[in-house]
């Protein structure tokens, strides 16, 4: 277990912290690009509050709105163009994971003359690794991805139907201003997707990582326990700020890196899902909710002891032995039941997706990440046929 | 639950990472002050390896050795003097918590013309808050305090018999190079004390913090579980590098801040112990091991539900209700049994300490931290009589 870890993002967490945004932004720049998604932050009044806070601190702003749920590289280019045209020197992002991901890439693209798609891993031999970026201040309005406190971003190229990612320390946000009150208007289904998303972030590292990472395992289990306890409360009553706060913090901790250090884990479920949602405009977490249990049932035999641990520690089951496959499978059943209990889909058919493109998804996934021998890294490594089998089990 | 959090320390973890030290130090300076304790790093060969790595990277060095187990302010002044005399521009610290704590204060004292004791909280009206410090690179040789990844330091003034602390973001180490192989020669008793120390760091925030911090609770429980599982393995076989690595990482996670964010917890057991070990040259963790269970039995009625949670989640006990005092007390008994199973003392008499100075410890503790009304903050707040009662229960 050798690793390096550093997460320099400064976190300001709590109800009402949004009022401090202007003061925080003024430490980093004089003119902000405010990046937003589909308009909910305008309808909810958050945008106006943010502008008021910036103005009070003497910060000017320009705007890049309408970033898509699966953010496109053209939106990145558009944002970078606005930064250059308007002379912005800091980026403030209001929204969920998609908007935050786009903003992180905009921060580097604005200082790069080439095509921003050069920075995204997508099977080309050389990826351009940016070395400078504008400061980014994240203001999450949805608890889900942890993007507010990590250095990753997932971007779609709509021309080539490729969805892939960048993850480099340069892209850590300078500050995350996390105000759970901003999430009270998130509808039930998106709240539930957020819960599924955050859980999947830790099941990936937990189930695909190397052996003997006991601290990391316990942290991951702690995040899942918390999500299963407080997620349903936030879904049941969106105005429960306490539940909103717990889910928001759990989502950040899920992908801040604490549960991942030293696990050296590939994220096969994410890689497969990215390919699916490059073809269908579905919420990322809906795809995860469908693929993850099916993947677990495929992978359980490769790493049974870990699934037994999952079953015992998360669902209180009692295994007969370390390799008790029945117990491991029952743990997966219970997990899937939890997803269904919060109304997340667990079959493609629920979203109207058929088996038509299963082979395409599998082959496309390998174009993004592969071991060079036609397999997707994970525990176990997956061939095209394996992936098709998993997709089919989730039909 | 409102909080701010930022821990910028870069962590390089794993067996063999010590060979990278010179390269790392060269990013921060050209001449290092190497700070060490009683000489074990010289006997074990670690010091020579470090010097070789520095030399290979073209780094000169000066030396400040013999920092005490409960580090004294005079050692801080001595280290700062060497920095100035030798023109050092970076500090490399090899040792346990005491040596790391001293080094962090040296890093600020070297750039401050006044008395370094001005920086330490000790009941005076104005504490001097330093604003600049040399970069510090920590190389822990003992898994215990987490000092390698946090910004706190505990220092003793031997003239006034006051032991107190400083904790400011300026003092975060730049890098922690954590090589578990450096800890294989730590003797059984010191290894056990390290396990007790790290557990006490999280019981303090867990049991003294505000309500409704579920993620933090789970992280704290994860650290304790890991310490109770892997600590005895490291004690049984010092050469078990796997166990050494798990305990080393658990010790860092225990006080890196992840389990503490938002808990707003005072550390009453630490405050009482600091006063005791200001009078007796005992290992800090030995004092903690004695005071912590006695304090828990005193405090249990003020926060019974949390102690029930502790009993259930850590020791698998089943409470009859949220307020089941018997279950809570049984959890404390089990915890004390664990401490005894790794040969940590749980009574003052085992260290030859009598009740002679109990009132003095209690009154001195209030000189360091007090609510202004004669009570030590915690759950519950403790009067002088309360503290004496706790000390007496641990006699």
Candidates A149, A181, A214, A264: best to mutate against B (most CBs of B within 10 A) is A214
For residue B178, the SS3 value is strand
Spatial distance between the Cα atoms of A338 and A341, rounded to a whole number of angstroms: 5
Token code pair at residue B119:
């920086």
Are A8 and B8 in contact (CB < 8 Å)? Answer: yes
Handedness of CA A261, A265, A269, A271 (dihedral sign): positive
**CB A94, CB A148: distance < 8 Å:** no
Which residue from A2, A215, A226 is facing B215, i.e. has the nearest CB? A226
Global pTM?
A: 0.96
List A residues 220-249 in contact with B (Cβ-Cβ < 8 A): 221-223, 225-226, 229-230, 242, 245-246, 249
Residue A124 has what pLDDT? Answer: 66
ipTM of the complex: 0.94
Residue B91 has what pLDDT? Answer: 98
pLDDT confidence tier of residue A161, bands split at 50, 70 and 90: confident
Q: Mean pLDDT throughout A23-33?
A: 98
pLDDT digits (tens, 9 = 90+) for B66-117: 999 889 999 999 999 999 999 999 999 999 999 999 999 999 999 999 999 9
Spatial distance between the Cα atoms of B286 and B146, rounded to a whole number of angstroms: 17
Q: Does B262 touch chain A (CB under 8 A)?
A: yes
Residue A125 has what pLDDT? Answer: 66
**CB A93, CB A103: distance < 8 Å:** yes
pLDDT confidence tier of residue B126, bands split at 50, 70 and 90: confident
Q: Does A8 touch chain B (CB under 8 A)?
A: yes
Residue with tokens 């860092």: B252
Which chain A residue shows the shortest CA-CA distance from B214? A226
Token code pair at residue A327:
């117990």
Q: Please, which residues have CB within 8 angstroms of residue B176's CB and are 6 or more apart in sequence?
A: B9, B10, B11, B12, B13, B137, B138, B139, B140, B148, B149, B252
Residue B124 has what pLDDT? Answer: 66
Residue B122 has what pLDDT? Answer: 76
């Amino acid at each position: 277990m050798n690793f390096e870890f550093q997460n320099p993002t400064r976190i300001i967490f709590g109800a009402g912290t949004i009022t401090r945004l202007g003061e925080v932004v003024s430490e980093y720049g004089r003119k902000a690009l405010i990046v937003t998604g589909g308009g909910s932050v305008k309808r909810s009044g958050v945008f106006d509050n943010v502008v008021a806070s910036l103005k009070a601190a003497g910060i000017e702003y320009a705007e890049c709105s309408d970033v898509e749920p699966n953010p496109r590289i053209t939106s990145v280019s558009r944002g970078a163009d606005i930064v250059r045209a308007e002379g912005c020197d800091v980026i403030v992002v209001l929204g969920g994971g998609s908007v935050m991901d786009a903003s992180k890439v905009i921060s580097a693209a604005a200082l790069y003359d080439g095509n921003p798609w050069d920075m995204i891993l997508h099977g080309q031999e050389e990826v351009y690794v940016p070395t400078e970026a504008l400061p980014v201040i994240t203001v999450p309005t949805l608890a889900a991805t942890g993007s507010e406190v990590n250095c990753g971003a997932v971007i779609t190229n709509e021309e080539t139907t490729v969805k892939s990612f960048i993850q480099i320390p340069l892209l850590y946000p300078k500050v995350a201003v996390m105000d759970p009150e901003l999430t009270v208007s998130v509808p039930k289904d998106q709240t539930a997707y957020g819960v599924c998303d955050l859980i999947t972030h830790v099941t990936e590292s937990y189930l695909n990582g190397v052996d003997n990472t006991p601290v990391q395992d316990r942290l991951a289990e702690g995040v899942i326990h918390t999500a299963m306890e407080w997620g349903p409360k936030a879904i049941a009553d969106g105005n429960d700020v306490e539940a909103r706060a717990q889910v928001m913090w759990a989502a950040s901790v899920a992908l801040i890196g604490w549960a991942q250090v030293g696990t050296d884990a590939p994220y096969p479920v994410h890689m497969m899902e990215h390919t699916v949602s490059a073809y269908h405009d579905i919420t990322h977490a809906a795809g995860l909710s469908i693929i993850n249990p099916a993947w677990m049932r495929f992978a359980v035999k490769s790493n049974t002891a870990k699934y037994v641990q999952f079953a015992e520690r998360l669902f209180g089951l009692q295994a007969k032995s370390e390799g008790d496959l029945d117990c491991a499978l029952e743990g997966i059943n219970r997990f899937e039941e939890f997803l269904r209990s919060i109304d997340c889909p667990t079959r493609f058919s629920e979203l109207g997706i058929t088996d038509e493109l299963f082979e395409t998804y599998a082959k496309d996934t390998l174009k993004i990440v592969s071991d060079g021998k036609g397999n997707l890294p994970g525990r176990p490594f997956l061939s095209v046929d394996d992936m098709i089998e998993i997709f089919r089990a989730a039909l």
